[in-house]
Chain A
Amino acid sequence: MEILILLLALFVLSLFLGVELITKVPPTLHTPLMSGTNAVSGITLVGALLAAGGDASPMLVNVLGFIAVTLATINVVGGYLVTNRMLAMFKRK
């Protein structure tokens, strides 16, 4: 239960921090913000790796793990690349 409360505290504080940070992002960067946060939400890749299961796991778990790893990787790779592509255009001048 102690761990649970700590995780909850982390969650709530992160929400407040998020509000403070995001409200300072100018409208001109809102699209890269969305694709950038898409990439960050690819952090589920960490969860996918932990949940992917091993030799002893049922086949279904392995398949679900594979799907999770694939989708999260698309978000990480696609999200960071496309955000970088957009931001480079803003940087030119």
Chain B
Amino acid sequence: MSPNLINFIYLVAGVLFILGIKGLTKPKTAVRGNMLSALGMLMAVAVTLLTINDVDYRYIVAGVVVGSLVGSIMALRIQMTSMPQMVALLNGFGGGASLTIALAEYFSTLGAAPTSMADMLVPVAVDSSAFGVGAEGTFALIAIGLTVMIGALTLTGSFIAFAKLQELMKKSYGLPGGPIGNAILVLGALAAVVFLVLNPGNMAAMLTIVGLALLLGLFLVMPIGGADMPVVIALLNSYSGIAAALAGFILGNTVLIIAGSLVGTSGLILTQIMCVAMNRSLANVLFGKMAAGGETIDADEVYAGKVKSAQPDEVALMLEVAQRVVIVPGYGMAMAQAQHAVRELADAMEVRGVEVEYGIHPVAGRMPGHMNVLLAEAEVPYDKLVEMDRINPTFEDTDVVIIIGANDVTNPMARESEGSPIYGMPILNVDKAKNVVVIKRSLSPGFAGLPNPLFAMDHTLMVYGDGKKAVVEMTTALNQAD
């Protein structure tokens, strides 16, 4: 097949990827968009298979079979509540694929792959011209070094993110010196890249890049807490794309560059959205703790004698006479698997003529859009899922807000208390509603470690207990009323 034809088909594939993402701008066109994107992938892979010769198909077939099996089992078995874990793993695999491609390309160009660790320490006599003519050789080596570095750190970083989301790793560990330790690892890996570019045959340099970048991935993500995972996943998503685009530079492959840069920007934009929604800089999420600013607020002082609690059937009495109710879900809803119960409560209210909407904060849950997927799974129509900026002006006309498993994103201190660590973070202004019902196990603080004055307000009722159970009891009580 002529190179022109191949590149033309890659171009068509690239256009299909673009149309695929364009389809995702509306729920109605999204399924078709995803299909178009998959068609582009099929074309790109098929044309590549037709063009490669001198390959050992056994390895390719084995890889495709194993990968398809693992991929489809993961995709079909995963629960919607665990979607962040799935995306974390896929980010890691993407990074791992770019890493191994770059390594394979490096060793096959060297023509003398080591068979033992000892071999690795003996440099091969080769200069950059083996990787391309003149500046192209140097550029290819830089691309190889950077692909290896970003691919490796995405691999280990994503597995740590997975472990944190799956709650296999509950504590946070960091390098002594925190950001400084990480900076030393980054500089060390970059120095090894430079050394490799100058001494392409030095396999020990390559090994150093791999080792340092794998460690970097571990230490970058280990200190970061669970509620900051949306940012981490989005950022690693971006890295996996950048690694793919860099791999495209190594191979001189256009479709890798197009697809990789689309994924790279997607991850970066989501990262930025998440950071804005928390009013924190990326550096603060990655390296900082929540600012300890201001005097520590004593929870007892905030709550003492002011918190009122209620039983689910008392809440049902309020819901009976309500005109408009807004449900605010958080990670707690996912933990309690309460999305179906919540939908049933909403149904029971709608039957009685109550207007029900859902207020979704951008960082609710463990990844961008997490709550939306859970509620879509429970068959809540997507036009009822209202984003923060649009729902906030409506709270004043809302009779009851039901908060289930959310905390910091409703804390009025973010709006009012200037010394507070979360001051300036955009929140859902639920306190403006006529009545607020908070379903929560206890008064324990959220991720920010702050008491929430909302719980002590005159028009707030706390319903203590398991989220799902409380919601089911409300629904039952509401259905029994006449």
Asked if A14 and B100 make an inter-chain contact with CB atoms under 8 angstroms apart, the answer reads: no
Alpha-carbon distance between A89 and B376 when the two chains are bound, in angstroms: 6
Asked if B256 and A46 make an inter-chain contact with CB atoms under 8 angstroms apart, the answer reads: yes
Which residues 40-80 of A sit at the B interface, judged by CB distance below 8 A?
40-80
Alpha-carbon distance between A72 and B63 when the two chains are bound, in angstroms: 9
Known interface pairs A18-B261, A19-B265. Does A52 touch B103 (Cβ–Cβ under 8 Å)? no
Task: Write out the residue numbers on chain A whose beta carbons fall within 8 Å of the beta carbon of B104.
Answer: 51-53, 61, 64-65, 68
Per a CB cutoff under 8 Å, which of B83, B94, B105 touches A51?
B105
B325 adjacent to chain A (CB < 8 Å): no
Stretch of B51-59, B183-191, B287-295, B449-457 lying at the A interface: B51-59
**Mask of B96-127 contacts with A, CB within 8 angstroms, 1/0:** 11101101110110011111000000000000
Per a CB cutoff under 8 Å, which of B56, B94, B266 touches A22?
B266
Which residues 364-383 of B sit at the A interface, judged by CB distance below 8 A?
367-370, 372-373, 376-377, 379, 381-382
Asked if B101 and A51 make an inter-chain contact with CB atoms under 8 angstroms apart, the answer reads: yes
Asked if B67 and A32 make an inter-chain contact with CB atoms under 8 angstroms apart, the answer reads: no
Asked if A41 and B376 make an inter-chain contact with CB atoms under 8 angstroms apart, the answer reads: no
B469 adjacent to chain A (CB < 8 Å): no
**Mask of B249-273 contacts with A, CB within 8 angstroms, 1/0:** 1111111111111111111011001
Known interface pairs A28-B372, A29-B27, A75-B71. Does A49 touch B237 (Cβ–Cβ under 8 Å)? no
Stretch of B84-92, B160-168, B417-425 lying at the A interface: B84-92
Asked if B101 and A47 make an inter-chain contact with CB atoms under 8 angstroms apart, the answer reads: yes
Closest to A31 in B: B369
Task: Write out the residue numbers on chain B whose beta carbons fall within 8 Å of the beta carbon of A89.
Answer: 373, 376-377, 379
Known interface pairs A43-B41, A52-B59, A78-B90. Does A23 touch B269 (Cβ–Cβ under 8 Å)? yes
Q: How far is the CB of B26 from chain A (nearest CB, A)?
A: 8
Alpha-carbon distance between A24 and B11 when the two chains are bound, in angstroms: 23
Closest to A64 in B: B104
Task: Write out the residue numbers on chain B whose beta carbons fall within 8 Å of the beta carbon of A77.
Answer: 67-68, 71-72, 75
Known interface pairs A21-B18, A37-B237. Does A31 touch B83 (Cβ–Cβ under 8 Å)? yes
Q: How large is the interface on A (under 10, 10 to 19, 20 to 34, 35 or more residues)?
A: 35 or more
B66 adjacent to chain A (CB < 8 Å): yes
Q: How far is the CB of B252 from chain A (nearest CB, A)?
A: 6
B443 adjacent to chain A (CB < 8 Å): no
Asked if A91 and B87 make an inter-chain contact with CB atoms under 8 angstroms apart, the answer reads: no
Using CB atoms and an 8 Å cutoff, list the residues of chain B in contact with chain A: 17-18, 20-22, 24-28, 30-31, 34-35, 37-38, 41, 44-45, 48-49, 52, 54-56, 59-60, 62-64, 66-68, 70-72, 74-76, 78, 80, 83, 86-87, 90-91, 93-94, 96-98, 100-101, 103-105, 107-108, 111-115, 134-136, 139, 233-234, 237, 240-241, 243-245, 247-267, 269-270, 273, 360, 362, 367-370, 372-373, 376-377, 379, 381-382, 385, 387
A-B interface, 4 closest residue pairs, ranked by CB to CB distance from nearest: A73-B67, A69-B63, A18-B265, A30-B369
Identify 28 residue pairs between A and B in the complex whose beta-carbon atoms are under 8 Å apart, listed by A's number: A4-B136, A7-B248, A7-B257, A14-B261, A22-B21, A25-B25, A30-B367, A31-B369, A34-B234, A34-B267, A36-B24, A42-B41, A45-B41, A53-B55, A58-B112, A60-B115, A64-B101, A65-B63, A68-B104, A72-B93, A74-B90, A75-B90, A86-B80, A87-B30, A89-B373, A90-B27, A90-B382, A92-B379
Besides the contacts A18-B269, A44-B247, A72-B93, what 16 more A-B pairs have beta carbons closer than 8 Å?
Answer: A1-B136, A11-B245, A21-B262, A25-B25, A26-B26, A27-B360, A37-B266, A38-B237, A44-B94, A49-B52, A50-B52, A52-B60, A53-B56, A59-B115, A73-B63, A80-B38
